[in-house]
Structure 1
């Protein structure tokens, strides 16, 4: 019965979101109430369960998410992201233009959310494609591969950040391992797959893109910050969290005893602290240092927060549904089904996330809901690597982007593809990211 109730809840959510076009957050909350009642939870406990799930989820990630949005917007509005992309393209040359796009998108994608990275980079890619007389799809697929991989694997993106907290994984190690996994994944999906896709869907590679995306905010050369400072600002939270991850490894291995310096490094390397410090650094490097007024920078920050308000609520709604599943005993039920199974917890987390992603369309909701189903089974496996389970969940949440995914439509429209071409390129590409991410995660599990 619990699995049938989950299936009913998923179908109901799809009907609300896709059929009735109901707001996603509202749909999640309604479904949470319905599922809680069907699971037999006492009515007096339902509201508190939903509030606890929403509050605990937002309580951990709101700071990281909000600071990350502001950091990305400051870099973009100052021209730093344009400088990164243009410089790398100049250095790599025309023959290696895909590698330049991949590299630039990976760097920019670390600091920017998936949708923001796409909106920012598409106009630049559109201009380059026009100048070099190549298809925008030829350049666009490496871009979306890198943006999708960073979104699925790397904090401070909402999915991996939220699910790491739910599993109790070390977010610094998630970042470190995520980069190791993401690099070969984006090469496979962003460089090798497009060669195959050109044979599968050749018509897609004749597309010139939508002219509406060809109008980008233009910067004169002297208006943009330097390449070095732009990269430093975008990657500063990664540097800080990397330091925290290294300190955590040293503590586990007991190389040196705890002291004031290790405590300070752990504090600075904490994801929340790292994002606050990085935002302050960006205010100086992207603003004060370039004589941009504080009012203008704060307008950018305010705009960034306004744009993510609903997404924060959706993430909280996913947390509410996850909490209802846990409090309703679904997680325990699923765990009992797999009790004694030889199925790898890494593969199990990936499989659950993949199924939910295909059904719901939202990778973030899929990761949060997966946590509610996987957490009980992890309690019986004390030796499991929680960081790798987090990454496997992220990999599963990237699979098979299709018509119920807003990102799918964004990619389709921006690259000027037909529905069939988008299904034959981006849907398969996202599946390659998911499967490759799982494969490289399981390979890494052998060595750590």
Structure 2
């Protein structure tokens, strides 16, 4: 019982430090690592080594992938590629299904671009579509937000799912994580879209709502600010070519060796390694650079990407340190046997992640911290297989979207740009994320019945 009380105390420290005292998650997780190490009685001479090895170990696997993915996303964001991707979807789906179209746009854009940035970039497009298709701005906002949110929590190379996969030993199987994540994210996005349809006739009631009809020229201004938009091929290639290569590399590495063991096999295994695939994506993104001084522009985009990636790397590394400390204690075996007796199984990662997400607001922190926490337990709760680990990432992702409310920056981005009141945003956006998380978890559970 003492082991569980210590763990609950450490989790409470993480929640209180990040939510009430606004301590940075990086420092919070490092402090939690030391607290857990001392509380569980690890030898004092081993504590620093365990923490530093855990920190460096996870970044050695996944750090470059996070950096490269973030730089590609920055280039796509600054070049107007997200607008091009959105316009392609509009042409494909037309105006018959406005909320579905908006949801698909968000689903695609948030794979390379953070959901917060994606919403800001696409806000003018969303307003224009809502006016043109005579659909409530609330419904279109929730459809866009939930589409963005789905791939943000489930599909690499978004940093949160990558970090969770790394903590659970899946750094060489990102293709499988992507394949399952794309499916689960699609179900979650569809659930969010259905909820958005409830608000088709409800207009925003927040401050400045009456100004929305006066802002329809912003989309043209936004396009003009980007200059000539990139072609669809140039816009999609930097993200979908690496994803395709990673998936093909995973297929080539199947035990049955469907592509043989030489020639094309060796090439795909090489190209399918996440770092190599994302380097190709980075090279493809060079075609999106617009200025005459492309080297200077490229260097600026790298700097901007590194600024975004730095806190994610630190949080990911701190999560690895926290996980390493827990692995060095007896809590894993004890909790594993206790949870096995309760039959919680795949629901346990979801419960922990949803508690962390709801309490402190950050989906990325919830993904990193929960994956570090549950990694030592997988063998004891029957999830130690490759597919068990993949579904654990999905369960954590489902929890990491449950729920987005006032302590989440994304909630405020959606609320402010959509001109919703806080009360309305809780009914529309927060409730949507609850439905998304629960629906995604049910999907993961059903998959576990067939795949485990």
Offset of residue 135 of structure 1: 3.7
Name the SS of the counterpart of 2:110 in structure 1: helix
- Answer whether contact 1:400 1:427 (CA < 8 A) is retained: yes
- Answer whether contact 1:267 1:273 (CA < 8 A) is retained: yes
Alignment of 1:225 with 2:230, yes or no, is: yes
- Answer whether contact 1:110 1:150 (CA < 8 A) is retained: yes
- Which residue is 2:301 aligned to? 300
Offset of residue 25 of structure 1: 2.0
- Which residue is 1:157 aligned to? 158
Q: Deviations over 1:92-143 (max 9, x none)?
A: 3334222222222222111112223223222332444456564432211111
Name the SS of the counterpart of 1:246 in structure 2: helix
Offset of residue 366 of structure 1: 2.1
Q: CA separation in 1, counterparts of 2:307 and 2:226?
A: 30
Q: CA separation in 2, counterparts of 1:25 and 1:317?
A: 6
Distance verdict in 2 for CA 1:386–1:311, change over 3 Å: closer
Q: What stretches of structure 2 of length at least 5 have no aligned partner?
A: none
- Which residue is 2:249 aligned to? 244
Q: CA separation in 1, counterparts of 2:378 and 2:101?
A: 40
Distance verdict in 2 for CA 1:7–1:209, change over 3 Å: farther
Distance verdict in 2 for CA 1:207–1:90, change over 3 Å: farther
- Which residue is 1:364 aligned to? 364
After TM superposition, the score normalised by the length of structure 1 is 0.88
Q: CA separation in 1, counterparts of 2:204 and 2:120?
A: 25
Offset of residue 21 of structure 1: 2.7
- Answer whether contact 1:361 1:405 (CA < 8 A) is retained: yes
- Which residue is 1:69 aligned to? 70
- Which residue is 1:348 aligned to? 348
Q: CA separation in 2, counterparts of 1:205 and 1:19?
A: 27
- Which residue is 1:317 aligned to? 318
Q: CA separation in 2, counterparts of 1:221 and 1:354?
A: 38
Offset of residue 264 of structure 1: 1.9
CA RMSD of aligned residues (A): 3.0
The 5 Å alignment of 1:39-438 reads: 39-129=40-130, 134-169=135-170, 170-189=173-192, 191-196=193-198, 207=209, 217-219=222-224, 223-248=228-253, 251-283=254-286, 285-287=287-289, 293-344=294-345, 346-380=346-380, 381=382, 383=385, 385-438=388-441
Offset of residue 193 of structure 1: 0.9
Q: What stretches of structure 1 of length at least 5 have no aligned partner?
A: none
Offset of residue 75 of structure 1: 1.8
Distance verdict in 2 for CA 1:199–1:317, change over 3 Å: farther
Distance verdict in 2 for CA 1:120–1:301, change over 3 Å: farther
Distance verdict in 2 for CA 1:208–1:404, change over 3 Å: same
Distance verdict in 2 for CA 1:320–1:244, change over 3 Å: same
